[in-house]
Homo-oligomer: A and B are copies of this chain.
């Protein structure tokens, strides 16, 4: 346990605002604590000497030493009550009271006060507006919910108290147990990152699950969760995935919705397994909490029913797993053991008259196969198959081979007893073959997460000072939109740009052109003219002799188009051979939760119409940059599809990393687009740049 040990394993809990008034929250909490907590419960109420048979104190100062204070007083006096708690030297506080930021006005002020108080006294505060916390090892139910949790190895956080009450009822019926449960409330002080860190250090927590509507600090969460998921799986329902859902979440908790794309990327980078429903959340958690990691991605399916066997196979095909190819030995052994009509290839169909012994033989043989990493047992009820005995066989073989096995014993009530026995041994039984495979798939995906190595971002040797100067110039100009005139920024970060210069007289233009081999490209440079081509502001293939006139013409066109436009000059640039090159885009915008979000895609229609892009939260290292390039659908075009020469993918990967470093170094860069970044067989070149900077801070 980490620094929050007093929150979940206190010896003494005070209920500040305890009462025996029927229907009061302060009574419900006291009752829940009294009914199971192994430690001492101390009611605090200045108007009572005793509450529900427990000695009551007028304030925390007067009470015996307290580890955890649960505060349920009315909103108008809640800040004073918490201050009393802090003054009494109590560091851990659960604030049940509502009426904070979620109500605006006075509430928002109260929330600020609470934050300040917590900072001043270094308090661990859960809530406010929380259902409370539970910890099953010591029987502590410091919530006002109607249900207590069973003991288990899942720790559960939720940004919705109702979600907890809705789930517990059902989980109890299913025999699903928890270690700690916390209702996060407004997350004024402690948030998801704190609990992920805490439970990551808790040896008794096998799986962390949560329902979240937002993540306060995406970067902190990403760093922490990435470490925690090395050892402990995290499964989250992050709601507000859709536009409508995000709007609803925002009106529910006042959360500012970051983009779903950022959450998707950030949670994936953090190693979090995402669920989209309550059912998925627990289907995954059940597999992750009791089974060993699979030994490879090959799945064996053992069944007595052809149809369900085919459905299971389809589900495997839909997952990250694959049907195991049995070795010849396995097939021979199965053929020996099974009747002629059985199918000894995967899925093994032991056919309708299979009894428990035939299942034992099939499962044992399959799990013995080195190509089998895990197994699913799927059965239809028959007169000759006893489910209780089948459960015993599954438990025995799972342990003997130390490979994960999940079951789908079909047929309602008939399977209930067997399901309970299986559960005791950590084997989840699922209603449906597709859910069984999804459970196994979560386990396999977590196995990948726990085994992955994510290289640290490379720190390239860049000219940070020069970049700072360029950005400062924009700051001085009070212009927040920068364009091609700031290409030196890329140069400072070691990103190749075509030879050339921005000049402000025609003679200089000719000099520059003459210093460049071959014809040049000339472009008007003006922050006020964004679509240069449309006004004839770009000239291609200009010979040295024509450069002077071309300069005059470009400036005239710009003036003609918009007399008051700021013209910074004309860019004279090396003309690249684009014939064998591919246009790509690397962009960045800042997400309110996750910060810099990098985007990669091929140019033009690929980004604009097909939306074929990859995103990652920066900073990223080489592996992640390469993943970005590989995961777009059009990736084969870069790798030399259809007879093209392969582009310099390594150059693209490096450029993405250098831009990751740039946007991480300068938070004042709000948006950035290198478009196009041309990738040819011999290298990459950034042709154009647009960025938006925050001129207030640099």
Chain B residues whose C-beta falls within 8 Å of the C-beta of A610 in the assembled complex? 610, 612, 633-634
Inter-chain contact A381/B641, CB cutoff 8 Å: no
Inter-chain contact B162/A431, CB cutoff 8 Å: no
Q: How far is the CA of A434 from the CA of B280 in the complex (A)?
A: 10
Contact flag A605-B240 (CB < 8 Å), given A166-B410, A252-B306: no
Interface-located stretch among A45-53, A243-251, A512-520? A243-251
Q: How far is the CA of A668 from the CA of B370 in the complex (A)?
A: 48
A to B CB contacts below 8 Å, 6 in the list: A165-B381, A166-B308, A168-B411, A253-B306, A604-B642, A605-B642
Interface-located stretch among A113-121, A317-325, A461-469, A568-576? A317-325
Inter-chain contact A641/B609, CB cutoff 8 Å: yes
Chain B residues whose C-beta falls within 8 Å of the C-beta of A636 in the assembled complex? 609
Contact flag A166-B381 (CB < 8 Å), given A307-B213, A609-B641: yes
A326 in the interface, Cβ–Cβ < 8 Å?
no
Contact flag A248-B347 (CB < 8 Å), given A311-B237, A314-B239: yes
Which of A307, A311, A317 has the most C-beta atoms of chain B within 10 angstroms of its own C-beta? Answer: A307
Chain B residues whose C-beta falls within 8 Å of the C-beta of A211 in the assembled complex? 307
A643 nearest in chain B by CB position: B534
Chain B residues whose C-beta falls within 8 Å of the C-beta of A460 in the assembled complex? none
A352 in the interface, Cβ–Cβ < 8 Å?
yes
Inter-chain contact A239/B310, CB cutoff 8 Å: yes
Besides A170-B411, A211-B307, A245-B313, 16 other A-B contacts (C-beta < 8 A): A159-B307, A162-B304, A162-B380, A163-B305, A166-B305, A169-B413, A239-B311, A240-B310, A245-B316, A245-B317, A248-B310, A248-B313, A252-B306, A604-B642, A605-B634, A609-B637
A383 in the interface, Cβ–Cβ < 8 Å?
yes
Q: Which of B169, B304, B412 contacts A410 (CB 8 A)?
A: B169
Flag A167-187 by CB within 8 Å of B: 1 or 0 each. Answer: 111111110000000000000
Chain B residues whose C-beta falls within 8 Å of the C-beta of A383 in the assembled complex? 23, 146
Copies of this chain present: 2
Q: How far is the CA of A317 from the CA of B239 in the complex (A)?
A: 11
Inter-chain contact B276/A314, CB cutoff 8 Å: yes
Q: Which of B244, B278, B612 contacts A322 (CB 8 A)?
A: B244
A345 in the interface, Cβ–Cβ < 8 Å?
yes
Chain B residues whose C-beta falls within 8 Å of the C-beta of A641 in the assembled complex? 605, 608-609
Q: How far is the CA of A313 from the CA of B246 in the complex (A)?
A: 9
A343 in the interface, Cβ–Cβ < 8 Å?
yes
Contact flag A165-B380 (CB < 8 Å), given A605-B642, A637-B605: yes
Residues A602-648 near B (CB distance < 8 A): 604-605, 608-610, 612, 633-634, 636-637, 641-642
Contact flag A410-B244 (CB < 8 Å), given A160-B305, A304-B162, A381-B165: no
Inter-chain contact A244/B160, CB cutoff 8 Å: no
Least CB distance, A323 to chain B, in whole angstroms: 5
Chain B residues whose C-beta falls within 8 Å of the C-beta of A637 in the assembled complex? 605, 609
Least CB distance, A239 to chain B, in whole angstroms: 4
Inter-chain contact A278/B162, CB cutoff 8 Å: no
Least CB distance, A312 to chain B, in whole angstroms: 8
Least CB distance, A146 to chain B, in whole angstroms: 6
A277 in the interface, Cβ–Cβ < 8 Å?
yes
Inter-chain contact B410/A170, CB cutoff 8 Å: yes
Inter-chain contact A307/B244, CB cutoff 8 Å: no
Q: Which of B160, B237, B343, B345 contacts A306 (CB 8 A)?
A: B160
Inter-chain contact A279/B432, CB cutoff 8 Å: yes
Least CB distance, A179 to chain B, in whole angstroms: 20
Residues A377-392 near B (CB distance < 8 A): 380-383
Inter-chain contact B174/A435, CB cutoff 8 Å: no
A103 in the interface, Cβ–Cβ < 8 Å?
yes
Q: How far is the CA of A323 from the CA of B251 in the complex (A)?
A: 15
Inter-chain contact A317/B605, CB cutoff 8 Å: no
Q: How far is the CA of A159 from the CA of B311 in the complex (A)?
A: 12
A276 nearest in chain B by CB position: B434
Inter-chain contact A251/B345, CB cutoff 8 Å: yes
Least CB distance, A535 to chain B, in whole angstroms: 14
A242 in the interface, Cβ–Cβ < 8 Å?
yes
Q: How far is the CA of A213 from the CA of B278 in the complex (A)?
A: 31
A414 in the interface, Cβ–Cβ < 8 Å?
yes
Inter-chain contact A310/B169, CB cutoff 8 Å: no
Inter-chain contact B634/A165, CB cutoff 8 Å: no
Least CB distance, A692 to chain B, in whole angstroms: 23
Chain B residues whose C-beta falls within 8 Å of the C-beta of A341 in the assembled complex? 103
A226 in the interface, Cβ–Cβ < 8 Å?
no
A349 in the interface, Cβ–Cβ < 8 Å?
yes
Chain B residues whose C-beta falls within 8 Å of the C-beta of A162 in the assembled complex? 304-308, 352, 380, 382
Contact flag A277-B432 (CB < 8 Å), given A165-B380, A308-B160: yes
Chain B residues whose C-beta falls within 8 Å of the C-beta of A132 in the assembled complex? none
Least CB distance, A570 to chain B, in whole angstroms: 25
Q: How far is the CA of A171 from the CA of B345 in the complex (A)?
A: 31
A353 nearest in chain B by CB position: B23
Chain B residues whose C-beta falls within 8 Å of the C-beta of A26 in the assembled complex? none
Q: How far is the CA of A161 from the CA of B163 in the complex (A)?
A: 39
Inter-chain contact A308/B163, CB cutoff 8 Å: yes
Chain B residues whose C-beta falls within 8 Å of the C-beta of A277 in the assembled complex? 311, 315, 432-435
Flag A1-16 by CB within 8 Å of B: 1 or 0 each. Answer: 0000000000000000
Which of A166, A239, A435 has the most C-beta atoms of chain B within 10 angstroms of its own C-beta? Answer: A166
A431 nearest in chain B by CB position: B279
A158 in the interface, Cβ–Cβ < 8 Å?
yes
A241 in the interface, Cβ–Cβ < 8 Å?
yes
Q: How far is the CA of A169 from the CA of B168 in the complex (A)?
A: 27
A309 in the interface, Cβ–Cβ < 8 Å?
yes
Q: How far is the CA of A380 from the CA of B605 in the complex (A)?
A: 46
Chain B residues whose C-beta falls within 8 Å of the C-beta of A240 in the assembled complex? 310, 314
A99 nearest in chain B by CB position: B341
Q: How far is the CA of A341 from the CA of B102 in the complex (A)?
A: 9
Residues A320-369 near B (CB distance < 8 A): 322-323, 341, 343, 345, 347, 349, 352
Q: Which of B159, B276, B315, B380 contacts A163 (CB 8 A)?
A: B380
